[in-house]
Amino acid sequence: MSILVTGGAGYIGSHTCIELLNAGHEIVVLDNFLNSKPESLKRISEITGKNFKFYDVDLLDYSAIESVFLENGIVAVIHFAGLKAVGESVSMPLRYYNNNIVGTLNLCRVMEKYGVYNLVFSSSATVYGFQEQVPLSEDLPLQATNPYGRTKLMIEEILQDLYASNQNWSIALLRYFNPVGAHCSGQIGEDPNGIPNNLVPYITQVAVGTLPELKVFGGDYQTHDGTGVRDYIHVVDLAEGHLKALVNVMGNSGIKAYNLGTGIGYSVLDMIRAFEQVIGRPIPYRIVNRRPGDVSISFADASKANEELNWNANKGLDEMCRDSWRWQVNYPNGFEKEYEKISAVNQL
Ligand code: NAD
Ligand code: UD1
> How far apart (Å, rounded) are the C-alpha atoms in residues 104 and 60?
9
pLDDT value at position 343?
Answer: 39
Pair 216, 268: CB distance under 8 Å:
yes
Q: Which ligand is closest in space to the CA of residue 13? A: 1
- From ligand 1's centre to the CA of 9, what distance in Å? 9
- From ligand 2's centre to the CA of 291, what distance in Å? 9
Pair 156, 142: CB distance under 8 Å:
yes
Query: In this predicted model, what pLDDT tens digit does every residue of 214-236 receive, in sequence order?
Result: 999 999 999 999 999 999 999 99
Pair 124, 145: CB distance under 8 Å:
no
| Ligand 1 atom closest to 179 (CA) | 40
> How far apart (Å, rounded) are the C-alpha atoms in residues 175 and 344?
40
Query: In this predicted model, what pLDDT tens digit does every residue of 14-48 receive, in sequence order?
Result: 999 999 999 999 999 999 999 999 999 999 999 99
| Ligand 2 atom closest to 124 (CA) | 12
Show Cβ contacts of residue 230 under 8 Å, excluding neighbours closer than 6 positions: 177, 178, 199, 265, 266, 298, 299
The count of C-alpha atoms lying within 13 angstroms of the C-alpha of 306, restricted to the half-sphere facing its C-beta, is 11
Strands (E), 92-212: 118-124, 170-176, 178-180
Say whether 192 sits in a helix, a strand or coil. Answer: coil
- Catalytic residue, chosen from 148, 176, 221, 266, is 148
Per-10-residue mean pLDDT of the chain, 348 residues long, equals: 98 98 98 97 98 98 98 98 96 98 98 98 97 96 96 98 98 98 98 94 96 98 98 98 98 96 98 98 97 95 98 98 98 74 36
What is the residue with the minimal CA distance to atom 13 of ligand 1? 81
Residues with CB under 6 A from ligand 2: 86, 124, 126, 149, 178, 197-199, 202, 214-217, 228, 230, 268, 291, 293-294
Which domains does the chain show, CATH number per domain?
2-180+232-260 (3.40.50.720), 199-230+263-347 (3.90.25.10)
Q: How many helices (H) and strands (E) does the chain have?
A: 13, 13
> How far apart (Å, rounded) are the C-alpha atoms in residues 235 and 315?
9
Show Cβ contacts of residue 280 under 8 Å, excluding neighbours closer than 6 positions: none
Closest CA to 257 of 315, 299, 314, 308: 308
What is the residue with the minimal CA distance to atom 3 of ligand 1? 10
> How far apart (Å, rounded) are the C-alpha atoms in residues 66 and 192?
30
pLDDT value at position 344?
Answer: 37
Answer yes or no: 148 catalytic: yes
pLDDT value at position 337?
Answer: 61
Pair 299, 263: CB distance under 8 Å:
yes
